[in-house]
Every structure is written in C-alpha cells, then in structure tokens.
Structure 1
C-alpha cells in the first residue's frame, strides 16, 4: 500500500472543506451517529467526530485501514470505531443518522459508489437519515482544441515507412485523465450538458446511459468530448470537477474521436455515453458521436469503446 494517493486526498482542500461544510450542517452535537464508508486514512470520520458526532463508524477494507486505526488512536478519537471491512460485507450493521462516502473517481462511479450507497440506505441508514453525497450529475461538452488529439496520433509520425495505425486506433479508443481549459471547449464550456443524474441511495443501476446534442453557430472541428461531474453533498454544498471550478485532485476525462468531425455552422453533433461499473469487472465505457447536417440528416457516425483500447 502506497501512502501517496492518500496524500493527494488530504492535500485537496476544496474537497475537504466541502465535506466538512456538509457534515457541519447535519451533525447535532452529542446526538448524531455517522458511518464513513471508504474511510481511507480516517479524515472525514475524524472531522465528523470533531464536529460533535456521538459516534462514528468507519468502514475501510484496504490496507490503509491500519493507518486509519493508528490515526484514530493518535487523535484520541474515542467516538470513532473502525470496521476493517467493506460496508456491504458487514452483517447486521448498526443504524446511523448520516452516511458519508467519498468514493468518487475522475469517472464518478469507478469506485462503485452507486451500489455501495444503495446498500447503505437499505441496511445502514435510519429512516429519515442523510446520505452524503446526495446526488451526482455527469456533464459532457465537445472539445474543439486539437491539443490532446495531436498527442494521440503520434503513431502517424513514427516514420521509417512503418504503419502503426492499429496502435493509433487503440489509442483513440481509450479515455484520458486530463485538465482541460474552458477555451478548449465549444462555447467555452458554457453549453455543457447533463447527460446523466444519479440520486445516491435511491438509484441502483450501475449501468448508465445518456446523450446530449450540440449545435454549432460557426464552423468548428470537434476532436472529442470532455467529461466532468458535480456532486451535491447536501442542499447548498456542491463539489465540482468542471474546468472552471476550484481545482481539486480530480481532473476531467477526455473521450477521443477516431477522426475529427468538421461541423459547418448550423450543423450538430450528438454524443451518447454508456458506462457499466462493478466490483468484479471494473468500469466499462463506450461512446458514440453522430454528425448531423442543418436539416437533421446524419452525415457520419463513430463508435468508440474502451475495450478496443486494451491489448488482448
């Protein structure tokens, strides 16, 4: 187990403050019982204890649970109780007033937060209890900058009379963690659209699908799509990974197109995204793009799939 990943979480002051603000609004001193699911080093659970929670139950199945145990002891946090298991494995778990889980990735659901919090609502949470985060919205926007595209087609320039197009095709069927700027997006990202919304605890479908259409006012070339999410922790406290949001340890995702789409003014592109996540199989992503002319007739379609980007 390497501590470096957890250091990046601890260093993310935007993330930490947002969860602290959310907890401070729902914890009643000496009354509230909290479950911190996916506790990591124990930071969020310890925050809850400092804010006056009567009891905090921390669930952590990975080796970092040992760090959490030592950290709880070092802070003399007698209200904190560590369970070195996944919350879904806990038999007859104690019921709590608040469930909090920061198990979000660059792709929001890659750590299976949907399944985890659906189980938590059913087995861990008291009637009328609070789940943090409450809701996730997933956004998409066309990328009109060729910066990342040029990285991915370097296979074209190897020279020596060699054809590496097979490898290039695989590169363009991958998803990339990148920081994008608003000026790299269509309309500066202002026209980004929600393609999926999940109410955590209530929604149980780990397979997600959605689409969004974008019409261009001037000639534009679309090289791929940018993805980000925002999480409503509780009403009034939102955490976002958008390009123009305060910087966090998360970044945006870039979904490439195999061939750039040159759209004339008045034409549109339809993006469809699909995902499937599970503990056993990990996260599968696929995306398509359809180019429509001014009259709504389809001109071209591309279908990309993360499975095509893996070496068999």
Structure 2
C-alpha cells in the first residue's frame, strides 16, 4: 500500500472542508446514519462521527482499510464500523440516511463512481436519503497555447536522422494531468462548455458521450482541449477542478490533437468526447475533433483514443 497517495488526499484542505460542510448540513446529531463508500484512511467517516452521526458504516476493500481501522481505534469512534469490502459486494446492506463517497479522480468518473453510487442508491440508501456528491458536471474548452503540445512532440527533435513518428503519435493519443492558466485557453477559459452531466444515484450509465462546438470570432490555432469537472456535494456546496477554482489535489486534463487545427474567424471547432468506465476494464477515453469552414463544410477530422496510446 502506498500511503503517500492518501497523504495527498488528507493534505487537500479544500476537499476536506467541502465534504465536512456537506455532512454538517445533513447530519442530525444522534439520529443520522451514514455509509462512507471508499472510506480510504477513514477521514470522511470520522468527520461524520464527530458531527454526531449515530452510526457510520465505512466501506473499504483495499489495504488502506487497516489504516482506517487504526484511526477508528485512535479516535475512539464507537459509532464507526469498518466494512472491509466493496459496497457493491455487501449482501443485504443496512440502509442509511446518507451515502457519502469521495471516489473522484482527475477524470471525474475514473474510479467508477457512477455504477458504485447507482448500486448504493438502490441497496444502501433509505427512501428520501441524501447522496453526497449529488451531481457531476464535466466541461471542456479548446487549448490555444502550444506550451503542452511542444512538450509532447519532442520526438520530432531527437535528431541523428532517426524517425520516431510512431512514438509521437502514441504520445498524442494519451491524456495528461496538467494545470492551465487563463492564457492557455480560449477566451481565458470562459468559453468552456458542459459536455456531460451525471445525477449520481439515479443515473446508472457509466458509458458517457457528449459533443460541443465553438464558432471562433478571430483566427486561432487549437492544440487540444482542457477538461475539468464540477461536483455538487449538496445544494450550495461544490467542488471544482477548474483552473479558476481554489486549487485542490485534483488538476485539469489535457486531450491533445495529433495535428493542431488553425481556424479562421467564423469557422467552427467541434469535439466529441466518449468514456467507458468499469471496475473490471478501467477507464477508456476517446475524443474526436472536426474543423468546419464558415459554410459548414468539414475541413479536417481527427480521432484520438487512449487505446492508441498503449505500447503494443
């Protein structure tokens, strides 16, 4: 077990405060029961206990469950009960008033939160209970700075008469964790558009697809696309990985283009994003970009996929 990963979570004060604020709004001292799904080191479940939850069931299947067990003991948290399994594996689970799960990644759905919370809504949550988070919105915007593109095409500069173009193509069919500044993004990031929205619990579709486009008001070169998400924990309490939001341990993602698209004023750039997530197969991402001229005719099309980025 790598405890260092969990240290980065614990060090994220924005994340921690967000979940604490959401729990504080829904827990009735001495009454509310809570299921913490993907409990990790136990922080969020222990928060619920400190806020007065009558009972907290902490589901954690990984080795870190041992750390959570020690934390429960050290904090004398008699209300907390460790369930060393995945919540989907629990037969006839006790129903609770609140289900909370911090199973979010840089790509929001990479830890299979959609299917996990659909099962939790069906089998763990009481009628009228509260799901935290309740909704995830996913955003994308063109990247107009060549900063990251230059980093990824270093294969062209190796010299010595050596052709590494196949490796270059693989690099550009990957997704990268990066932080963006406003100057990297179309309209400073204000042009970001929502391509997908998930209502957690009621939405059971782990395969997602969305399409958005931008008509440019001046000539631009688009090198790829920046991605971030916004999670509504409960009404009035949100977490965001947007560049303009308070920084967290999560960052934005970069979806490259193999060949930058230079578009004139009045021309349009369209991107389609697709993802497939499952416990068994992990997360597969694909993105297709199309450049249209001012009359709506397609000038260029590129289809990228993480599957093309793996070494065969």
Secondary structure at 2:23's aligned position in 1?
helix
TM-score normalised by the chain length of structure 1: 0.99
- Which residue of structure 2 lines up, in the alignment, with residue 137 of structure 1? 137
Shift of 1:30: 0.5
Give unmatched runs, 5+ long, in structure 1. none
**Superposed structure 1 runs of 4+ greater than 4 Å apart:** none
Measured against aligned partners, the alpha-carbon deviations of 1:206-247 in whole angstroms (never above 9, x if no partner) come to 100001101111110000000000000000001000011000
Shift of 1:280: 0.6
Secondary structure at 1:52's aligned position in 2?
coil
Q: Is 2:75 the counterpart of 1:75?
A: yes
Measured on the aligned residues, the alpha-carbon RMSD in Å equals: 0.5
Shift of 1:303: 0.4
- Which residue of structure 2 lines up, in the alignment, with residue 58 of structure 1? 58
- Which residue of structure 2 lines up, in the alignment, with residue 261 of structure 1? 261
Cα distance in structure 1, aligned partners of 2:142 and 2:68: 41
Shift of 1:93: 0.5
Secondary structure at 1:66's aligned position in 2?
helix
Q: Is 2:23 the counterpart of 1:26?
A: no
Q: Is 2:206 the counterpart of 1:206?
A: yes
Residue correspondence of structure 1 range 29-48 to structure 2 within 5 A? 29-48=29-48
Shift of 1:192: 0.3
Q: Is 2:103 the counterpart of 1:103?
A: yes
Secondary structure at 2:183's aligned position in 1?
helix
Cα distance in structure 1, aligned partners of 2:36 and 2:51: 14
Give aligned pairs, total.
Answer: 312
- Which residue of structure 2 lines up, in the alignment, with residue 273 of structure 1? 273
- Which residue of structure 1 lines up, in the alignment, with residue 241 of structure 2? 241
Cα distance in structure 2, aligned partners of 1:276 and 1:133: 20
Cα distance in structure 2, aligned partners of 1:160 and 1:60: 52
Cα distance in structure 2, aligned partners of 1:182 and 1:65: 40
Shift of 1:28: 0.4
Cα distance in structure 2, aligned partners of 1:73 and 1:34: 18
